Structure 1
C-alpha cells in the first residue's frame, strides 16, 4: 500500500473512470493526461479529514476536506454515482455536465480558475477536488461592506479580474454561462477564482469569415410558423402580454452558438430566455448583472417569481439610479438586451471605467483589497473535523430528500426551452447537517 504506482490510462479507461465505472484503483495511483501532461491524484475518502460541508449545488455537495498525506485544504465536490448513471440511462445531460466540468478543470491553466487537485470514486459516489478558497464568495464579501455595497475602486479590481477570467475561457471556446457572486470565490491571496463549470459549454469561436445577415426576433411579432411554440409564446399564455413589449433582439450568428436553456434566473440573458441561440456575449450580460449587484446590493430585474423576472429581463431597462458615472455607463452597455449590440471584451477593456489599468499586471498585484484569514475554522469539531460522518450517506440523504420535495433543479440542455412554471434554476442551499431542508432556497452554492 505504501508503494506508489503510476498508470498511464488509455482514453477508454479515462472515460470509464470519469464516468465512475472504474473503482478498483488505489489512492496512491495517479491518473495522467498525455495531452496536457497532467498528473491528477486519485483520492481515498478514508484519508480525507472532513472539516465541514460548505454548500451544495444541483449535482453534488461540496465539503471542505484536509488531505492527511499532504495537509492541504481542498474543496471536494461529491456526486452520487446512481444519479449520474440513472440520468445517463434516461438520456439526461447531467452526466455530460459532470464530464464536461472535469474536462474543463483539466484543461484550464489560469491563476483565476481552479485546478483539478484530485478525483475519487467509490461504489456509491464520485468526486473531484479543487483548491479551497478561504475568503468564501463575492456575496459573502459584499455583506461585509458598508450598506452591503462595494465602492467603485473595489468593483474595478474584481471586475477586471472577472474580465480576464472570462476572456481566457472564451479564447478556449468555453462559454461560462453561470457568472454570479456565488461562483466568484476569494482565494487565499485575495484574487478571485471562478468555480462551477457544470453549466458551461464548448462553442466554436467566431471567425472573420463573412456570414449571412443576422435575423431579428421582435417580441411583438412571434413567429407562428414554427412547429414548436417559443418560450415567449408560453410566457404569453401564462399572462405576459406581448403588446406590452417593444424590445427587438438580434439573433446571434449561427456559427458557434447554443440553444441551451440553463443558468440562474436573475442572471439569465434575454437571448437565452427567447431561445434564439446564444454565444459568448451571454457572459458579458451576466457580468453587467454582477456589477449592478455590487453597486446597488440587488440585481436589476428580480421579480416576484420566475415568470415575472423573465418578463422584466425582456422588457424593462436596468434602472441605474444616481449620477452618471463611468461605472454606470459600463453597466448599461453590458446590459444591452441585443447581444449583437452588447459591448464585447475589447471595448470592455478599453472602457474609461478601466482607464489606467495595466491589464498585463492585474494578476501580479501582491496586495488585493481583501486578504482572507489563513486559519481554517474547524468549528466545534476541532482539528479532527467531522470525519466520523459518512460522506456517502450524507450526500445520499440530501439528494434523496431533494428528489422527494422536487426543488433545487437545474434546467436541462433543452433546445425546446420547456417552460416549467416556477421551477428553480440552479438554486443552491446551505448544508447545515444531515437534517437540513434542501427545499430551502439560499443564494450560496459552490462548484
Structure 2
C-alpha cells in the first residue's frame, strides 16, 4: 500500500511527573505497587491449584488406592469447584455473630465471633481505613496481611480470610483460647529454667517460620505469643513486620529518640505503678508484677511497648532478621528474672536504655541463672554483628548448650507446661475481657493494628462516609481466602 498521501500527527510529548499534582502521583504509585500484589495473588492461587492437582495425581498412582481411585478424583474435583464458588461469594460482616470483645488496640478491635454458615468460632480483627490512611499505616496493614496469607505454619496464627467494606478491613483468624505469654507471666511471675526452655524453643520455631517466608517480625514480645488450646504457642500480630517489598516500606521508628522526654520524668502511658521507685529485686516481685499489668495499657497506644525492641531500629543502622533474636533474648530474660532487661516507667527512658545497652544491661545480684542461660541471653542481647543467629539463623540458637537434649521437631507432641482449662469453644477466661468495654454487635467506636495479644488491634470511627480513591486504591488486592477448611 502506498502511504505517501497520509500525514501522521507527531506523537504527544511524554509528560513528566511534575505535570501532575501530588495526589495523582501518589495514586499512580499505589496503583503500581498494589496491582503487582493483586496479580501476584492470582498467580499464587493458580500455582497452588496446579500443585493440588499434581499431588492428587500422585496419590492416585498408588496401587493401594485401588477401586477408590475414581471416588478420590471426583471428591477432588468437587472440592475445587466448592472453593471456586467460595472465591466468588462475597464475605461481609453480617455473616458473623459477635460474641465478645477480646482485644483493642490503637487502630482497631478484635472480637470473638461465630460464623453463621458453619457455626465455628473465630477471632475477627477489624481495622478502620481512615485511621490506616491518615496515620500512614498502610504498609503495616499490607505486611500483616501478606505474612499471614503466605504462612501455612503450625507456629503462626492461621488467617482464613480477609475482606473489606467501605470503612473497614477485616481479618478472620483462628481463635487461640489460651491467651498469651504475658498473661502467664502475670499469673506465675517467673518461670523455672525448664519451662523457659520449652517456651523459648517454641518461639524459635515460630520466628524461624516467619523468617523462612522472608519476613522480619520486629515486634516479638510476650503479648504476641499466643497460646492454643493444647498450651503450645503461635506467633501473631504482624502489624510491624517487614517484608522486602515496596508495599511494606515504612519508617515506623523514625525520630522516636528525638521526641522530648516526659515532663518532670512523670510516667507516660502507665497508669498504676512508678517502676523507677521500685528496686528491681526478688523481694519486690509483687509490685513489679503490678507494673507488668499496667504495661498492657501501653499496647493501646500508637507507640506500643518498646521493652523488647533491638537498638538497630532506633539508631538508623541497617538491620535484618537478627533483630528478632534480640527480642527473644529479652523475653528469656524476663521469664527467668521477672522483668524485662530495660524496664522503665516510660517509653522514652526505655528507648534510651536500649540504645545504651552496654551501660544499662545487667543481671540482678540476687537472681541466680545457670551459666548456660546467662550465656544464651548475653549472646542474644549484644551487637548485631556478633549476635547468635546473625550468621546461621535459628540453627545457631538451637545448637546452644541451653537447649541440649531438646528435640525441636517434636515440640508440639510434648505436653505443654500450662494447658488452659476451657469450658466451651467460647471460653475467654484467659483474656482480660473484663478490662475491655463490651457491647452488643460490632462497635462503631475506637479500634488499632498494634495490640497487646496479637488478637488486638483500635481507636477510630466506623461511620459511613463517601468512598474516595484514597479509601479504595490502597486496599486493592487486600482480599484473601484460604483453600483449606474455610469453605468446608
Instruction: Judge same fold: TM > 0.5, yes or no.
Output: yes
- 1:231–1:275 Cα contact (<8 Å) kept: no
Q: Distance in 1 between matches of 2:440 and 2:257?
A: 47
1:351, distance to aligned residue in structure 2 (A): 0.8
- 2:99–2:112 Cα contact (<8 Å) kept: yes
Residue 333 in 1 paired to residue 376 in 2? Answer: no
Change (3 A) 1:430 1:115: closer
Change (3 A) 1:307 1:126: closer
Q: Distance in 2 between matches of 1:74 and 1:163?
A: 26
Higher percent of residues as strand: 1
Higher percent of residues as helix: 2
Matches within 5 A, 1:132-143: 132-143=175-186
1:427, distance to aligned residue in structure 2 (A): 6.9
Selected match of 1:358 from 402, 407, 427: 407
Residue 44 in 1 paired to residue 92 in 2? Answer: yes
1:35, distance to aligned residue in structure 2 (A): 4.0
Selected match of 1:287 from 328, 336, 340: 328
- 1:177–1:200 Cα contact (<8 Å) kept: yes
Paired position in structure 2 for 1:158: 199
Matches within 5 A, 1:18-417: 33-37=45-49, 43-84=91-132, 86-87=133-134, 93-145=136-188, 148-203=189-244, 264-315=305-356, 316-321=359-364, 322-325=367-370, 326-336=372-382, 338-344=383-389, 345-365=394-414, 367-374=415-422, 375=424, 376-377=426-427, 389-391=440-442, 394=443, 396-399=444-447
Q: Distance in 2 between matches of 1:33 and 1:93?
A: 29
Change (3 A) 1:174 1:129: same
1:110, distance to aligned residue in structure 2 (A): 0.7
- 1:177–1:262 Cα contact (<8 Å) kept: no
Change (3 A) 1:77 1:96: same
Q: Distance in 2 between matches of 1:181 and 1:171?
A: 21
Q: Distance in 2 between matches of 1:372 and 1:107?
A: 29
Q: Distance in 1 between matches of 2:449 and 2:173?
A: 24
1:143, distance to aligned residue in structure 2 (A): 2.2
Q: Which runs of 5+ in 2 are unaligned?
A: 1-30, 39-43, 53-82, 246-253, 265-301, 430-436, 460-488
Q: Distance in 1 between matches of 2:351 and 2:146?
A: 32
Judge which range, 290-299 or 92-101, deviates more: 92-101
Q: Distance in 1 between matches of 2:190 and 2:408?
A: 25
1:57, distance to aligned residue in structure 2 (A): 2.5
Q: Distance in 2 between matches of 1:370 and 1:378?
A: 16
- 1:65–1:74 Cα contact (<8 Å) kept: yes
Q: Distance in 1 between matches of 2:257 and 2:165?
A: 44
Q: TM-score scaled to structure 2, two decimals?
A: 0.59
Q: Distance in 1 between matches of 2:115 and 2:455?
A: 23
Q: Distance in 2 between matches of 1:78 and 1:233?
A: 32
Q: Distance in 1 between matches of 2:206 and 2:167?
A: 34
Q: Which runs of 5+ in 1 are unaligned?
A: 1-11, 20-31, 205-228, 240-260, 380-385, 400-407, 411-425, 435-447
Q: Distance in 2 between matches of 1:387 and 1:268?
A: 32
1:346-397: per-residue Cα shift (whole Å, max 9, x none)? Answer: 32111111000112222333x2222223422379xxxxxx998341xx2x42
1:43, distance to aligned residue in structure 2 (A): 3.6
Larger radius of gyration: 2
1:120, distance to aligned residue in structure 2 (A): 3.0
- 2:330–2:340 Cα contact (<8 Å) kept: yes
- The secondary structure found in structure 1 opposite 2:237 is coil
